[in-house]
Amino acid sequence: MGQDGWRRSDAWIFVAVVMANGAGRHMRSATTRRPEGVRLADVLSMADHLRQLLPGRREVEEAVRRLTGAGLITVVDGWFRVTAAGGTLWRNRRSGVGAVDTVYTQLLRRPIPDDSDWTLDDADHAAAILEYAGRAETTD
């Protein structure tokens, strides 16, 4: 997969992880033992906000494989986090155009990463969509 190069969906998922993490930090209590980061439902929610579209399971899986392979994000025990390298990429993007477009341009300048072995099974993807849908219903 990584040999195919960067895809626009990689930028979309990366921006969703970054933005979901920024929005979710206020939810983490200083006394909690929960690791910093966000869950898949948070990433899907932000992806939907960005494009009014939920990414499919395969699209998420392939993007996360490339992004983790490039060292831009990590996923540990279901918690998605932005790495220092990912934070640098985010801070160095040019403004004036949509975040996904600017990140995609930056990804295209990076070497093609080796894929990680991260997988997302259908049941986990479906559960995250249901969790997100449940949140949306309670805010209507």
pLDDT in tens, 47-92: 999 999 999 999 999 999 999 999 999 999 999 999 999 999 998 8
In a domain, 46, yes or no: yes
Domain count, the chain: 1
Q: Identify whether 87 is part of a domain.
A: yes
Percent of the chain with pLDDT over 90: 69
- C-alpha span between 56 and 28 (Å, rounded): 28
The whole domain housing 57 covers: 8-138
At residue 75, the 3 state secondary structure works out as strand
**Residue 22 — pLDDT band, cuts 50, 70, 90?**
confident
d(CA 97, CA 11): 13
Strands 79-82 and 73-76, by their bridges, are antiparallel
Q: What is the pTM of this model?
A: 0.86
3 in any annotated domain: no
Mean of the pLDDT values across residues 84-110?
A: 88
Q: Is residue 38 part of a domain?
A: yes
CATH number of the domain that residue 27 is part of: 1.10.10
3-class DSSP assignment, residue 111: coil
Q: What is the pLDDT of residue 115?
A: 81
